[in-house]
A and B are shown apart, each in its own frame.
Chain A
Amino acid sequence: MTARRPIVPFLRVPADGEPYLAGHRCTACGAIFLGPRLACGRCMARGSFEEVPLSRTGTLWVYSIVHQSSPGVPVPYVAAIVDLPEGVSVRCSLVDVAPDPAALSFGMPVEMTTAVSQQDRDGNDVVAFFFRPAQGGA
């Protein structure tokens, strides 16, 4: 039997709800990490993290457009850094937009979407997150 598994541990795919990214927030200083830490890299406080769901919308910080990649990776694609309102950024591909600087602007609103990106070695569907230009307006 095959199952659905997230591409990274901080992507949560609940059976009954929208997928979301989970951050580990330092309760001492508020810095957010993607994945657990023994101590906060910013304020050094030990073991005081809480898991927080991150927003599905954010803004485009910067990007590159990759035209030459590793063997077997389809090109071009927009490699983006997206800022989320919680004060953390994520590395992601920007989809549903032309891979052209003319179509991309710093600070543009974006929203998260998910899709099955591939099957793993055991035949499970691997769910990945992507961002795309925000469609809902403000």
Chain B
Amino acid sequence: MRDVHVAGVGMIRFGRYKDRDVPDLGGEAALLALDDAGLGVRDVEFLAAGSLFQANAMVGQRILQQIGQTGIPVVNVANACATGSTAFREAWLAVASGEHDVGMAVGVEQMGKMGLLGGGGGSGVRTEGVLGSGLMPAVFGQAGMEHMRRHGTTQAQFAKVAVKNHRHSTRNPLSQYQVEVSLDDVLHARMVAYPNTLYMCCPTGDGAAAAVLVSPEKARQLGANVKVLASVLTSDPWSERDLTLPDVNTLTRAAAARAYERAGVGPEDVDLVELHDCFATAELLHYENLGLCGEGEAGRLIDDGETAHGGRIPVNVSGGLLSKGHPLGATGVANVFEIVQHLRGRAGARQVDGARVGLAHVIGLGSACTINILGG
């Protein structure tokens, strides 16, 4: 495998685009990324497109119909909420393997106001509310309650994650929401699934993001100096309760161990983290899963402000999924977009000063975990 560099990234503001469609949104992000790289669509040799709810609808090819049909190989990727980050990894592999010199990843999703996810099942027999809950707010509520049970974490500590990430988003013009909320607001907001209130749950929405990955030689020509230090994907191994309570911890820990080893860095070397805060409860679990603190210390980390902008290890300075939004297929590429902007010193008001190494983490329930570590 050879080194791979990120030559360009693009992202449209997450939100609701009810008058547009998926190839249109994805195409706009792709063009932004190409412009950012200083390349044209004719330079792209491989495209990986991630879009979960249109996984069977040839989104990648339809994006090329929007921006230029050059006949290149296209793969369409679905991997739950890790769809976009898996597409990024496919493009990374295509370049790292030596098969292609320029690969592009596009993540795009159009969810509208689709309501809560995970309650499905078309058998005609209702299980939701009968056999517990398969809805995401409850599943991640239960995952948070495990942390509460093991370490005494409090609902207020989980709520502080929402306060932090909503505050961060006020400095991100691409965030779906850009509104600050107080701890009191969060704790007294409508309860969705204890311990997660409304502000502790990510919204549904539409969005797209893209990244252009290139070989070392192309990177030299383009002056691209952000490098992919590691791109790792794991699935869930057997664990004690995984039949009933998806285990988002074990596969994240496995991915983190492999990613740090491949990158040749440790958590102490990471300057900023974008992690999968689909619910406020999830963020605290991943502090420990990613080695940002010791076992059982996540509550203290949020209490002490260490993961806030300006703290020891800023987490989700983009606003995170909680506030920036979570258009499923777009999320994993948008996380890379955020890291790249910081490594290039182009993150504007939310810039993490002197950022050299950033980590992007995504979980797709079912389960998939990606970790991309980038260095600049």
Question: Which of A's residues lie within 8 Å of B, judged by CB?
Answer: 7-8, 31, 33-34, 41-42, 61-75, 77, 79-81, 83, 88-93, 101, 106, 117-118, 120-121, 126, 128-130
Q: How many residues of B sit at the interface, in one of the four size bands? A: 35 or more
> Chain A residues with Cβ under 8 A from B142's Cβ?
62-64, 79, 81
Q: Pick the contact of A117 from B130, B146, B195, B243 — CB < 8 Å?
A: B130
A7-B130, A101-B194 given; A66·B137 CB < 8 A: yes
> Chain B residues with Cβ under 8 A from A64's Cβ?
133, 137-139, 141-142, 145, 193-196
Q: Does the CB pair A63–B145 fall under 8 Å?
A: yes
Q: Pick the contact of A8 from B131, B141, B145, B194 — CB < 8 Å?
A: B131
A-B contact pairs, 10 of them (CB 8 A): A33-B243, A64-B193, A65-B141, A67-B190, A69-B116, A71-B115, A73-B129, A80-B132, A92-B131, A118-B125
Q: Does the CB pair A75–B129 fall under 8 Å?
A: yes
Q: Does the CB pair A93–B238 fall under 8 Å?
A: no
Q: What is the bound-complex CA distance between A89 and B130, given in angstroms?
A: 16
Contact with A along B130-152 (1 / 0, CB 8 A): 11111101110110011001000
The B interface, classified by DSSP as helix, strand, loop or mixed, is loop
Q: Does the CB pair A89–B116 fall under 8 Å?
A: no
Chain A residue, CB-CB nearest to B240: A89
Chain B residue, CB-CB nearest to A34: B243
> Chain A residues with Cβ under 8 A from B133's Cβ?
64, 66, 69, 77, 79, 91
* Count: A-B pairs, CB below 8 Å: 126
> Chain B residues with Cβ under 8 A from A90's Cβ?
244
A64-B137, A65-B194 given; A81·B129 CB < 8 A: no
> Chain A residues with Cβ under 8 A from B135's Cβ?
66, 69-70
Q: Does the CB pair B194–A128 fall under 8 Å?
A: no
Q: Does the CB pair A81–B241 fall under 8 Å?
A: yes
Q: What is the bound-complex CA distance between A128 and B125, given in angstroms?
A: 11
Q: Does the CB pair A7–B244 fall under 8 Å?
A: no
Contact with A along B167-202 (1 / 0, CB 8 A): 000000000000000000000001111111000000
B231-264 CB contacts (< 8 Å) to partner A: 238, 240-241, 243-245
B269 at the binding interface (Cβ < 8 Å): no
Q: Tell me, rounded to whole Å, the shortest Cβ–Cβ distance linking A21 to chain B.
A: 11
Chain A residue, CB-CB nearest to B141: A64
Chain B residue, CB-CB nearest to A5: B125
Q: Does the CB pair B191–A65 fall under 8 Å?
A: yes
Chain B residue, CB-CB nearest to A73: B129
Chain A residue, CB-CB nearest to B145: A62
Q: Does the CB pair A69–B243 fall under 8 Å?
A: no
Q: Does the CB pair A68–B193 fall under 8 Å?
A: yes
> Chain B residues with Cβ under 8 A from A61's Cβ?
146, 149, 241, 245
A69-B133, A92-B131 given; A62·B245 CB < 8 A: yes
